[in-house]
Amino acid sequence: DTAVSQTPKYLVTQMGNDKSIKCEQNLGHDTMYWYKQDSKKFLKIMFSYNNKELIINETVPNRFSPKSPDKAHLNLHINSLELGDSAVYFCASSHIAGSAYEQYFGPGTRLTVT
């Protein structure tokens, strides 16, 4: 069983398009996250979300928006894609109510904008 899954694993699209990446976790966790890994492998938090709050990293353009239909899903929508959006995007989840805090990551989605 895949604990945190993302679809698609690879996404190639043109500038200006709108795209979505889906994330699902079956761990029963209460908090989900999106991270961006750039070409130098640097990982940076984009969003954190649980049923109480959405935390947005202030450096994330408002073209990026998380959508959570339920506790097990946190999808990432990106409007008007730009070349600089090319990166690997990771979804993660954790159970902060249980004070565990370790985050489990999905396999990543490599987004290429041409």
Partner 1 sequence: AQTVTQSQPEMSVQEAETVTLSCTYDTSENNYYLFWYKQPPSRQMILVIRQEAYKQQNATENRFSVNFQKAAKSFSLKISDSQLGDTAMYFCAFMIPRGADGLTFGKGTHLIIQP
Shortest distance in whole angstroms from residue 30 CB to partner 1? 9
Say if residues 54 and 35 touch (Cβ distance below 8 Å). Answer: no
Nearer Cβ to partner 1, position 3 or 15? 3
Are 6 and 88 contacting, i.e. CB atoms less than 8 angstroms apart?
A: no
- Give the residue with the Cβ less far from partner 1, 72 or 96: 96
Interaction site with partner 1 (CB under 8 A):
31, 33, 35, 40-45, 47-50, 52-55, 57, 88, 90, 92, 96, 99, 101-105, 107-108, 110
How many Cα atoms within 13 Å fall on the side-chain side of residue 30? 10
Query: How near is the Cβ of 99 to partner 1 at its closest, in Å?
Result: 7
Q: Which residues of 97-109 are buried (b: 16+ CB within 10 A; e: fewer)?
A: eeeeeebeebebb
CB of 16 to partner 1, least distance (A): 27
Q: Which C-beta is closer to partner 1: that of 1 or that of 14?
A: 1
Q: By three-state DSSP, how is residue 44 classified? A: strand
